[in-house]
């Protein structure tokens, strides 16, 4: 069987301190991504809403227009900053997420852009599951007041390494996405995300480890740094989990970068030891990765229009 991960790769998650100044967020992201690639990272990830504060009142104000693709510099300064940064750093760059405005439909999205080391846009993921929750006395948040959901999974082919899946934050709670991506050959599931002090304490690590355990793949969750002066306090604790569900490395609350070296042997060893991959009973229940699955995975899925 062909290896899911063709050669060892160093992953870096940048737990960025973000604020209200978009230009500063972009230049700060640049310096941290370059720091990560100077340390040898081949894939670098930024957090959810890395160019703006996270919150429904901020999304329309910070939103950029990505379509038609490629956007002009004034339509999306972040698109151009990320594309240039991927080229400058020579790494694959999963550009966290940004608020997007689609002028044609007047809809907003929470959107992640992934760039190749030559600066080409490889994939666009629009958050599929919007973060709408109410935990009395703790947190009430309704992304759907402002945002519309994306309608596809995102699998990205990195030719030297293999396939990764990109989804955003609350998407991690829906195991189907992870399962489908893993069965379609992803070696790594990446989630730019911003859990909070309530659900972060409850479920952040558990979600990361569960997705890794169920699918026997690597998982990375990349949060903004915690800012207690902000309206929304991100959990932090960006982490990388191995295919056996062990936490390889985890940050605290402050700005920092977490690294891990990923290799094919760990996936194979895990799957050989606990061979759920060959023990599934699709005669008893259906394979969620088959049938009518909406996903991009051919490495050519630049920015498909969505309803
Ligand atoms: N930004 C988000 O989607 C937050 C998700 C979250 O906190 C959760 O508990 O899930």
Span 152-196, pLDDT tens digits: 999 999 999 999 999 999 999 999 999 999 999 999 999 999 999
ipTM higher than 0.95?
yes
193-235 residue pLDDT tens:
999 999 999 999 999 999 999 999 999 999 999 999 999 999 9
Q: Residues 259, 207, 46, 111: what is their CA dihedral angle, to the nearest 10 degrees?
A: 160
Q: Annotated active-site positions, please?
A: 48, 127, 169
Query: What's the average model confidence in pLDDT over 259-286?
Result: 97
> In the chain, where are the structural domains located?
9-296
296-305 residue pLDDT tens:
764 444 455 5
Residue whose CA is at the smallest distance from ligand 1 atom 1: 194
Under the banding of pLDDT at 50, 70 and 90, the label for residue 286 is very high
Residue position matching structure tokens 């109410």: 134
- The predicted structure's pLDDT at residue 1: 64
30-72 residue pLDDT tens:
999 999 999 999 999 999 999 999 999 999 999 999 998 899 9
* Residues contacting 153, CB < 8 A, separation 6+: 128, 165, 167, 177, 180, 181, 293, 294, 295, 296, 297
Residue whose CA is at the smallest distance from ligand 1 atom 10: 170
Is the pTM higher than 0.90? The answer reads yes
Taking domain 9-296, whether its CATH number is 3.20.20.140 is answered by no
CB of 205 closer than 6 A to ligand 1?
A: no
Cis peptide before 68 (omega within 30 of 0): yes
CB of 154 closer than 6 A to ligand 1?
A: no
pLDDT, averaged across the chain: 95
Residue whose CA is at the smallest distance from ligand 1 atom 7: 195
Best residue among 47, 49, 141 to mutate for probing ligand 1, ranked by most atoms within 8 Å of CB: 141
CB of 199 closer than 6 A to ligand 1?
A: yes
CB of 25 closer than 6 A to ligand 1?
A: no
């Amino acid at each position: 069987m062909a290896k899911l991960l063709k050669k060892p790769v160093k992953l870096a998650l940048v737990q960025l301190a973000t604020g209200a100044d978009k230009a500063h967020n972009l230049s700060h992201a640049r310096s941290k991504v370059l720091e990560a690639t100077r340390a040898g990272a081949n894939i670098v990830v930024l957090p959810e809403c890395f160019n703006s504060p996270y919150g429904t009142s901020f999304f329309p104000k910070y939103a950029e227009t990505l379509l038609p693709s490629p956007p002009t510099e004034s339509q999306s300064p972040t698109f151009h900053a990320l594309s240039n940064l991927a080229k400058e750093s020579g790494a694959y760059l999963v550009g966290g997420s940004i608020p997007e405005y689609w002028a044609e439909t007047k809809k907003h999205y929470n959107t992640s852009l992934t760039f190749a080391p030559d600066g080409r846009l490889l994939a666009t993921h629009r958050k599929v599951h919007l973060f709408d929750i109410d935990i009395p006395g703790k947190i009430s948040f309704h992304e759907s007041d402002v945002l519309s959901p994306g309608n596809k999974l995102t699998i990205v082919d990195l030719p030297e390494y293999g396939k990764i899946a990109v989804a955003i934050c609350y998407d991690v709670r829906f195991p189907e996405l992870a399962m489908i991506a893993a069965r379609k050959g992803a070696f790594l599931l990446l989630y730019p995300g911003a859990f909070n002090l309530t659900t972060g304490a409850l479920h952040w690590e558990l979600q990361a480890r569960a997705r890794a355990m169920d699918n026997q793949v690597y998982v990375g969750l990349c949060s903004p740094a915690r800012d207690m002066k902000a309206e929304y306090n991100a959990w932090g604790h960006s982490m990388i989990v191995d295919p056996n569900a062990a936490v390889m490395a985890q940050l605290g609350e402050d700005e920092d970068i977490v690294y891990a070296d990923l290799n094919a042997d760990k996936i194979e060893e895990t799957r050989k030891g606990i061979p759920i991959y060959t023990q599934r009973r699709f005669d008893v229940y259906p394979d969620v990765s088959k049938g009518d699955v909406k996903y991009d995975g051919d490495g050519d899925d630049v920015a498909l229009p969505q309803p």
